[in-house]
Amino acid sequence: MFVSGQVDPFHHLKILPNSDGTITRLRADPLTHPTSDATVPIPVLTQDATINQSSKTFARIFLPRRALHNSSKNLPLIVYFHGGGFVLFSAATHFFHDACLNLAKDTNSIVVSVDYRLAPEHRLPAAYDDAVEALHWLKSNPHDWLRNHADYSNCYLVGSSAGANIAYHAALRVAAQTNSHGINYLEPLKIRGLILSQPFFGATQRVPSEVRLAEDPVLAPHVCDVLWELSLPVGVDREHEYCNPRGGDGGVILERVRELGWRVLVSGCHEDPLVDHQIGLATLVAEKGVPVLTSFSPTGSHGAEVRDPLHQNRLHHLVQNFIAPPPSIHNLSPQNSA
């Protein structure tokens, strides 16, 4: 699984494999509780809402306080999926809670962070199923905050790391099910684009950035291998479409994404071992004629856009500009790498 001298990936991830195929998570990352009391002087209010009681999935809603005092204009709706290699963390994990709170504040948007089932107890495509179910829940059971303050016609799917992978595959499912006449089964919810922050993808063959950063202290390639082994369906390898976006029918469905007029933002950091996979994803999307904006910082490790304030601010500035009205695909070049 890993060669002598490399960090034990299970020790690095703070997990223990169990004989029944589950894992024991040893991490003790603090959880943040929501605060919905409008009398508390905070810039963003938060509240949890159950999506599927049997699956134990829920949404954490982040509402900028200023929305309570401006009923004349509804805010963009961001549906967010947290990272963690499909096996760790939740929407309540403190750094993802803080990142979503800042995203709502910095972009003046309502953020709905989806808590999905984790692998290996629930291998892919369980997280994709939960993501699409969350979109149906938004359509059919709008929370009061969403009903009163969200612009359902201006929705973006956003994710970090594995969450960006989930956002991408959820979008492909939605696009595939939108018929040739443009009838959207999620009406009144209208997706305008995807924002993929340091997306988690891979393949069986190492790309140059993985070779260059083979001993990366944050997310070395052999650690990624274990995450994929824990999350992919049993019996498939990293050429599967869930891991490698050039596999399966994803390329064909991207043509439907182009027809729907969606836009895509891919961001990342050049000190992330996965950066070449991320650039490859953006290249694939651009090849299919989908308007793509890319921005890659010369510094920063995997997860920097969540945990590092400077990289987080940079990302939120990109998001703010990307979702700013009026949305116009004509002013975006097919690819604009930094």
Provide the annotated active-site residues. 161, 272, 302
Give the full edge-to-edge strand order of the sheet including 110-115.
44-52, 57-64, 110-115, 75-81, 150-160, 191-197, 263-269, 292-297
Token pair listed for 274: 């996965």
C-alpha 45/C-alpha 78 separation (Å) is: 15
What is the residue whose two structure tokens read 């993929």?
196
Crossing angle of helices 126-140 and 162-177, in 10° steps, is 60
Which residues neighbour 108 within 8 Å (Cβ) at sequence distance 6 or greater?
64, 66, 75, 76, 320
In this structure, how many other beta carbons lie within 10 angstroms of the beta carbon of residue 137? 21
Nearest C-alpha neighbor of 31 from the set 46, 11, 19? 46
What 3-state class would DSSP assign to 317?
Answer: helix
C-alpha 42/C-alpha 54 separation (Å) is: 33
Token pair listed for 24: 């024991």
Crossing angle of helices 162-177 and 250-260, in 10° steps, is 70
* CA-atom Rg of the chain in angstroms: 19
